Amino acid sequence: MKFLVDAQLPPALKWWLIERGHDCIHALDLPRKDVSSDAEIADCAVSEGRTLISKDSDFVKMKLVGNKPEKLLVVTAGNIRNAELLDSFERNLETAIRLFTTFEIVELGNRFVTGRKRSQ
């Protein structure tokens, strides 16, 4: 799967996804790096067919109102250490990917993963 990791998530998540065979970039890889606007990040995700991974609730609003980005993985685990974040992805990524066959927004929490359609 192709992912774009938003700026407030660690570059370590990008490398973790790449090590597992996914095509992944981080917001720091974009031309304006960590000062890229939400619109620029969403546009990149759409134009490159990437699922956006973010903790930013503004992307949920953007998805609900403007249907952009196409697929959004929202991390709602709060402020956790990188090791805990990667552990959560280890436990839940395959489920999240399966949920994208039905849902446009997938939420990854500390101990759960769930999906919802834009119209919900």
Say if CB 73 and CB 51 are below 8 A apart.
yes
Mean pLDDT within 51-58: 96
Q: Provide the terminal-to-terminal Cα distance of the chain, rounded to the nearest Å.
A: 25
15 burial type by CB count under 10 A (0-12 exposed, 13-18 middle, 19+ buried): middle
Percent with pLDDT over 70 in the chain: 98
Going from the C-alpha of 75 to that of each of 71, 92, 93, the distances in angstroms are: 13, 11, 11
Read off the pLDDT of residues 55-103 as tens digits, 9 standing for 90 and up. Answer: 999 999 999 999 999 999 999 988 899 999 999 999 999 999 999 999 9
CA distances from 20 to 1, 2, 5, 14 (A): 10, 12, 15, 10
The alpha carbon dihedral of 55, 3, 60, 107 has a sign of: negative
Number of other residues whose CB lies within 10 A of the CB of residue 86: 18
* Mean pLDDT, rounded, for 23-48: 96
The answer to whether residue 118 scores a pLDDT higher than 90 is no
